[in-house]
Amino acid sequence: MEKPKPKVTPIVVPDDKLQFLKKKLDNPDLALDIKRDLVKEIMGGECAVCKGMPTKIASYDMDGITLIEKYCDRCFEESNSKK
């Protein structure tokens, strides 16, 4: 199904939480699934494409149903530049 143009809002997270999360993600000793759980917990979800840390929320209005997807900067730009 063709997606309409999304309404995009940035994900706002307190700076201390963001720094905490970045430090965890930079830690090579921490398992990937633990990092993913932390991303989900702190950012409220993961990037719909790469499962990384999302920074944006895109909401699509599909005939009255709102579809919400989260993206990181990179995947958001890639998904928009395709069109």
Q: What is the largest CA-CA distance in the chain?
A: 46
Cβ at position 1, least distance to Zn ion in Å: 21
Is residue 75 within 8 A of residue 53, CB to CB? The reply is no
Cβ at position 36, least distance to Zn ion in Å: 12
> Closer to Zn ion at the Cβ: 13 or 49?
49
Task: Count CB neighbours of 48 within 10 A.
Answer: 16
Report the site for Zn ion in 34-63 (rule: CB under 5 A). 47, 49-50, 52
Is residue 20 within 8 A of residue 26, CB to CB? The reply is no
Confirm or reject binding of residue 75 to Zn ion (CB under 5 A).
Answer: yes
Positions that interact with Zn ion (CB under 5 A): 47, 49-50, 52, 72, 75
